[in-house]
Chain A
């Protein structure tokens, strides 16, 4: 018995190593001076760790990613867009719709199916119409373009997740309030909403992560095809920033890019570790981002 547990722990540790190694490798790459990034044999730990890849000044939006500091404007864009979109779609769209579907509307099954269906629509299918709409509205390469289009996946997703939470709240409390003559909207606002606080947090976190990680809309609406270059940075998110160095500019200061990657993954990693429980909830209820 003991022996078999030892084998199990060995296998599990090996798996943990495989899952964590790419992250470890990127972190140490970001800590190596540029001369040591590519060596043969590769260095599995930084012999002379340095932080220059993080704060070194250089052409911020020039041809080569010098350091993570240069990516700051892009990270700010990512943050603002993700924060605003996830907040609006959780409280303004997701919560009221989910509540209405669970408590007030007949035929909710069909509406819920429609919502599930929209969650599963590939982003690529809507990209051509969205590009046309945003172009005609004159919003290309703005924060507005991203916030408006991101709602297309955060809104149905928030509703879907919150349906699960609202349907688990017992009706008795709301019915008691109704008997006391409380207006229906106040019941929603002051009672039901409070009862699904955990669900609201989960939705906010998952929306934030999904928006932060979104790539296709950001790429199409802020980079291609009119400004396939760098400055002005306009509304490019840090995902687009990283990808454009890899795809457009093949000769890259990999140390600086790795540092940018570390800074870009840090917020979602922290959120993931703090809200692991909620991430699991989201996965269970069908979060599909491709």
Chain B
């Protein structure tokens, strides 16, 4: 579509016409298709085929005969409601913690304009680089019931010791904290970057009007970063819905099934209980739920405009 914009010369107008073989001409005329070939192959191999296999596995039994046994298992699965509840609890809790902290940190740093701002920005971004497994290792040391620094500080404050990962009341909040530590930097980066784009003239106008910092936050900054904040929120929500690694390493879904979220449940069904047909059905359902969430994101956030796909 770039060609029309400049009103290119017709073949007859061009002075220099090169002789090319027919393949070269074909290649030249369909360059877009050739460049897209790798990703088309990718889509077929890594998306169409696996999803097809999910459908096939979902509606066959272990002998490969078409059947609805998996749907029956789904309807009678005694754990499914707990797992669904855990998934929602985990997602909402982690998301709220991540988002609140990242958002507040971005604004605090925005109001600070001193020499240390680069240092602060770096420190708030670092956890994002670490893998969930390494983060889990870090927090296992912090959460250690008898010798960890967290319980030590609590005991100094006479708040008693908490068995963070071994008690079903605290295991979920413990995961929220780790999620908050690891992924609030993500919200921070997005919101902080959005704040930088607020025009400086608005600041000057606000200063002349004698606005307080809170008024400025409420009436000048917030309305100007609504789009990116929405994107940050929804991308983060997807992140927590996907989460598997932290649960696997920190609690292994336990104690009991108190932290068994959907992705961990699918993993267990497939690789601990070897119910790969049932796991495929669960995966398919999960995929549909995610598809709905993603479509909502595309529809209700300016993400496509943000990346320059739509104007």
In chain A, positions 82-134 with a C-beta closer than 8 Å to chain B are 92-93, 96-97, 99-101, 103-106, 108-109, 111-118, 120-133
CA gap between A285 and B186 in the complex, in Å? 12
Given contacts A125-B286, A215-B132, A265-B134, contact A130 B186 (CB under 8 A): no
Summarize B's interface: helix, strand, loop or mixed.
helix
Q: A22-B142, A42-B148, A124-B242 are in contact. List 12 more A-B contacts (CB 8 A).
A: A12-B108, A19-B181, A105-B32, A109-B304, A125-B286, A125-B287, A129-B280, A155-B39, A171-B5, A184-B28, A213-B130, A246-B136
CA gap between A147 and B146 in the complex, in Å? 41
Given contacts A97-B38, A116-B298, A288-B235, contact A103 B32 (CB under 8 A): yes
Interface size class of B (residues with CB under 8 A): 35 or more
- Complex interface: chain A residues within 8 A of B240 (CB): 290
A72 interface hit (Cβ, 8 Å): no
Closest chain B residue to A154 by CB distance?
B42
- Complex interface: chain B residues within 8 A of A41 (CB): 152
On chain A, the number of residues with a Cβ less than 8 Å from chain B's Cβ atoms is 114
Q: Are A25 and B287 in contact (CB under 8 A)?
A: no
Q: Are A215 and B36 in contact (CB under 8 A)?
A: no
Most chain B Cβ neighbours within 10 Å, of A104, A130, A168: A104
Contact with B along A250-270 (1 / 0, CB 8 A): 000010011001001100110
What is the total of A-B residue contacts with beta carbons within 8 Å?
Answer: 324
Q: Are B112 and A168 in contact (CB under 8 A)?
A: no
In chain B, positions 1-52 with a C-beta closer than 8 Å to chain A are 1-3, 5-6, 8-9, 14, 16, 18, 24, 27-28, 31-39, 42-43, 46-47, 49-51
The 3 A-B pairs at the shortest CB distance, nearest first, are namely: A290-B242, A104-B32, A213-B131
**B contact residues vs A (CB 8 Å cutoff):** 1-3, 5-6, 8-9, 14, 16, 18, 24, 27-28, 31-39, 42-43, 46-47, 49-51, 53-54, 57, 105, 108-109, 111-112, 114, 116, 119-142, 144, 146-149, 152, 181, 185-186, 189-190, 193, 228, 231, 235-236, 238-245, 248-249, 252, 262-263, 266-267, 270-272, 274, 276, 279-280, 283-284, 286-287, 290-291, 293-294, 298, 303-304, 307-310
